[in-house]
Structure 1
Amino acid sequence: MAKRVVPESERRRRRPTRQGAVLSEQLIVETALRLLRYHGGAGLTVRRLGAALGADPSTLYRYFRGMDELTLAIADELIGRAIRGWRASGEWRADLRGIGLRLHSAYLAHPQAAVLAASRITGRTHEATAIEAILGVLRTAGLENADAVRVYRSLVDLSLAFAALDGAALALPRAVRDADRQMWRTRYGRLTPGTHPHIAATAGPLVACMDGSAYPATLDMLLDSTASRLTRGR
């Protein structure tokens, strides 16, 4: 059952927690990110969060109605970290590429959080700021409103989808990640032209391409498509 969230003016805890900190939404979110790093999404519970903060778990309901609302706050915090310090340069392609790479990097800095929160719509301040910034770049570049929205959706979904995909890989145990990467070399890199001619013909670049994320290259493809759309429009 959802709990009643205490108004902002009444939230501030008068006494420090056992760790000597005063509770706030920001502190709770930062602590949740730390717990996600060590315990994953399944390990993020109200009880564990309360213990990490040195506060009674029920105190957390003064700030969030439940874990789902905390998840939205985590997602918005990552978006805020992505756009913090970003400024439009007036060069639409560089600006969009910069925002995309920032989003991807901010989520990948917390891979377990990326898996948990990349698909969520927060409705919060940082998300609204990011939407406004991206649409502003696209409309200033000359795209019509409908086209600007389509490119915005593609850019954000691409960035967050890759963040979730790459985050899931990073969240795996190192031995498992290494085994997955080696599979390209030990399995696909050794297939013969007689059975798999196309894989054999491209084995070198195929193995090399699978080392690292495909996100930057895919992002450039989206920007190439946007550039073509702008050229046709003019």
Structure 2
Amino acid sequence: MPKKVVSEADRRRRRPTRGGAVLSHRLIVDTALRMLREHGSAGLSARRLGTALGADPSALYRYFRGMDDLVLAIADDLMGRAVDGWHGTGAWRADLRDLGLRVHSAYQAHPQAAVLTAGRVSGRAHETAADETILGILRTAGFPDSDAVAVYQAFIDQALAFAALDAATLALPAAAREADHAVWGATYARLPARTHPHIAATAGLLVARMNRSAYPTALEMLLDSAERRLTRARAAAAT
């Protein structure tokens, strides 16, 4: 049975750890992010995290119900980093574009954590605040609720899907990542027009684009589609 998680004030250690730090939710999440960056998800365990913090691993369970609870806290922290300090302009398309790019950027800054958390739903403060903001942008712009929810789902799922995809590339060992990047120039650009006419015709463009994230392009396509929905909704409301 999982242990009860008590308030921050009640669970805070009165004495510093062996490393001189006082345990807190913030310190544990930051240390877990560092461990993910340095060792990947396989290197994140209660034992190793306790060692990194200079604390007994059991102390972690005063802050988190288990390692999965910590993963959800990391997911929420990444979303918090994405929206921290963000202010809308009132222009729905510009605001959604900015939020999407901020989410993608925040996850790319922590690729190992992104791979681990992009598919999770934490239901925590930063995540719910971001969702409230996105739905608010859409409903204020005039999207009917059914369209607002549909666009919201496509928007956030697209952002997180590309965050995970691009993070998976960044999380590869450098040699593997460089080898993958080289394939476009070493293989695709050399395919003959006789057997691969369409690849041969676009080889230069493929080499120039395929090692960059497609997220900005995909985001614009989604916003174009959303704008068409809004135009139809406004036309229907006017009749």
- Identify the TM-score tier after normalising by the shorter chain: over 0.9
Which region of structure 1 is more displaced relative to structure 2, 68-77 or 204-213?
204-213
Supply the distance in 2 between the matched residues of 1:88 and 1:48 (Cα, whole angstroms): 41
Instruction: State the partner residue of 1:217.
Output: 217
Aligned to 1:198: 198
1:14 is aligned to 2:24: no
User: Which deviations, in whole Å up to 9, do the C-alpha atoms of 1:195-233 show, x marking residues without a partner?
Assistant: 011111111111111121111110010011111111122
Per-residue deviation, residues 10-63 of structure 1 (Å, max 9, x unmatched): 201100111221111111000000000011001100011001111111000000
Taking the aligned partners of 2:39 and 2:178, their CA distance within structure 1 comes to 21
Tell me the amino acid that sits aligned with residue 123 of structure 2. G
What is the rounded CA distance, in whole Å, between the counterparts of 2:12 and 2:217 in structure 1? 46
- Residue 128 (str. 1) matches residue 134 (str. 2): no
Residue equivalent to 2:59: 59
Task: Please give the alpha-carbon distance, in whole angstroms, between the structure 1 residues aligned to 2:161 and 2:168.
Answer: 11
Q: Say how many residue pairs are matched.
A: 234
Q: Any residues of structure 2 matched to 1:63-82 within 5 Å, and which?
A: 63-82=63-82
Aligned residue for 1:121, secondary structure, equals coil
Q: Where do residues 150-189 of structure 1 align in structure 2 (5 Å cutoff)?
A: 150-189=150-189
Aligned match of 1:230: 230
Deviations 1:103-130 (A, max 9, x none): 1111110000000000000010000100
Distance 2:73 2:7 in 1: 16
Partner of 1:141: 141
1:161 Cα deviation from its structure 2 partner? 0.6
TM normalised by structure 1 equals 0.97
Task: List aligned pairs for 1:110-121, cutoff 5 A.
Answer: 110-121=110-121
SS in 2 for 1:76: helix
The structural deviation recorded for 1:8 is: 3.5
SS at match of 2:33: helix
CA separation in 2, counterparts of 1:84 and 1:45?
28
CA distance in 2, matches of 1:115, 1:18: 31
TM-score w.r.t. length of structure 2: 0.95
Aligned-partner Cα distance in 2 for 1:9–1:62? 11
Looking at structure 2, the residues matched to 186 and 25 of structure 1 have their Cα atoms a distance apart, in angstroms, of 48
Cα offsets for 1:71-95 (capped at 9, x unmatched): 0000000000100011111011110
Query: In 1, are the aligned partners of 2:8 and 2:24 still within 8 Å (CA)?
Result: no
Displacement of 1:5 in angstroms is: 2.2
- Residue identity opposite 2:191 in structure 1: L
* Amino acid in structure 2 at the alignment position of 1:4: K
> Is the Cα contact below 8 Å between 2:92 and 2:141 reproduced in 1?
yes
Cα distance in 2, alignment partners of residues 50 and 62 from structure 1 = 12
1:112-149 CA deviation, whole Å, 9 max, x = no partner?
00000000000100001000000010011110001101
How much is the aligned-residue C-alpha RMSD, in angstroms? 1.0
Distance 2:128 2:6 in 1: 24
